[in-house]
Structure 1
Amino acid sequence: MTAARRTGGFLRDNALGLAFLAAFLVTLVGQALAGCAEFNDQLAVGGFAEISVAEYVTSSDFAVDVTENWQSEYLQFFLYITATIWLLQRGSPESKKLGTAGRGTDEEQRMGPHATPESPAWAGARGWRQSLYSRSLGLVMGTIFVLCWLAQSVTGTAAFNEQRLRDLQAPVGWAQYVASADFWNRTLQNWQSELLAIASMVILSIYLRQRGSPESKPVGAPHSATGVEAG
């Protein structure tokens, strides 16, 4: 197999992840450029000198804008992954079949003695390794959310204090900022949009279709078809 064919196969087999990673980088660069321009406009109004893009992307203002979005996204993933273990939605392909709430049996999950030769090694393990791996997706998503939330609180404190110093006001501590309206306004405006997006996807996918998408039921599937019933 030639290098070109191997590269083409890799790109084809990983197109979804690579496309979204590329789009992420493009939008992150766009955010940096637009954010820098807006920040310099604010500095100009206050009579301060402009900063470069490099200075802006290493500033607390840029960091807090990025991390507050990241934490809300990973909160969405964490809540959706864990909520769908127990909560069901009749007619939605985003839900498990009705009557299947819960973590499932070891046989259904191909764990322990029911693991196959193709199963991940820790799926067939015993004890803490199996327990950890069987919850690893939710744990990682939840951990990333907490870390992004902490990063938002720290960078938000720094950005908030920089603005206060420009306004000749005394800076505040981390705990005081986390209890402030500015922090919770930033946080809750992201959380509410993510929760609305989840609810919209769950409900609209009951009645609407997108041909060829794994996030949609087949076009001719009845509205009442739930989860894998749609297949």
Structure 2
Amino acid sequence: MRWLRENSLALAFLVMFLLALGGQAVAGLLQFNDRQVAEGAEPASFFQYVASSAFAVDVAENWQSEYLQFFLFIMLTVWLVQKGSPESKESGEEGVESEERQQIGRYAHDRSPAWARAHGVRLWLFSNSLGLVMGGFFVLSWLAQSVAGQAAYNSERLSDLRDPVSWGSYVTSAEFWDRSLQNWQSELLAVLSMVVLSIYLRQRGSPESKPVGASHSATGVEG
């Protein structure tokens, strides 16, 4: 029970993710088969659909926009500030900060991760590991979207008796960028809303909000 309580936030999001993904698969299958029947083709089974490029591209294009959002937020908050937002550092604290404040090198303590006491490449990798992994996930999901999207796009073209396109032609096409940018703009708007609204609005008990009584100008303060 203690393990469940201490990991309840991650577990809750994992369960909601799996339910949403399953729901997307079922709804997507129904929509896909509706088109198949309308075109006089055979409907697909559930496992055929979730293994198809049509399902893969819908999943991957959402994943890459989410990882782009977090990658940009992680990296930009190193150097940029927003007065009054709990999502920002105080003005004048821009940058990677001192070793003492980051508790690395000779300032590491007994419970610090081993690589926080390292030097050179190992310390650099660990110091930037969150941004590197988020950026890596974005690149991989972007590639997955482009490959699955090309396959799905070519399937539609072949059904219309048109020639398939190469991967390079697809990733420079309006089809690809329309799918990508409609997701990117929504994620960037959500981050902008969080950064700005958290200046003036509160959620009691949430670490993503300032304390209810904190001034609007208080920056980098979390409840």
TM (norm. structure 2) is: 0.99
> How far 1:116 moved relative to its partner?
0.5
Query: Which runs of 5 or more residues in structure 1 are unaligned?
Result: 1-7
Cα distance in 2 between the residues matched to 1:179 and 1:42 = 27
Aligned length: 223
Cα distance in 2 between the residues matched to 1:110 and 1:220 = 30
Q: Give the letter for the 2:156 counterpart.
A: Q
> How far 1:74 moved relative to its partner?
0.2
> What are the superposed Cα offsets for residues 145-200 of structure 1, whole Å, 9 maximum, x if unpaired?
00000000000000001111111111111001111111000000000001000100
Pairing 1:129-148 to 2, within 5 Å after superposition: 129-148=122-141
> What are the superposed Cα offsets for residues 30-89 of structure 1, whole Å, 9 maximum, x if unpaired?
000000000111111211110011100000000000000000000001000000000000
Percent identity between the aligned chains?
A: 63
2:33 is matched with 40
Q: Give the letter for the 2:161 counterpart.
A: L
> How far 1:143 moved relative to its partner?
0.4
Q: Give the letter for the 1:154 counterpart.
A: V
Pairing 1:84-163 to 2, within 5 Å after superposition: 84-163=77-156
Cα distance in 2 between the residues matched to 1:136 and 1:53 = 37
1:220 is matched with 213
Q: Give the letter for the 1:33 counterpart.
A: V
The residue matched to 2:195 in structure 1 has which SS?
helix
> What are the superposed Cα offsets for residues 81-122 of structure 1, whole Å, 9 maximum, x if unpaired?
000000000000000122111100000100100000100000
Match among 59, 65, 69 for residue 58 of structure 2 = 65
The answer to whether structure 1 residue 9 and structure 2 residue 32 are counterparts is: no
Cα distance in 2 between the residues matched to 1:116 and 1:225 = 29
Displaced runs of 4 or more, over 4 A: none
The answer to whether structure 1 residue 55 and structure 2 residue 48 are counterparts is: yes
Q: Give the letter for the 1:186 counterpart.
A: R
TM (norm. structure 1) is: 0.95
Match among 191, 194, 205 for residue 198 of structure 2 = 205
The residue matched to 1:133 in structure 2 has which SS?
helix
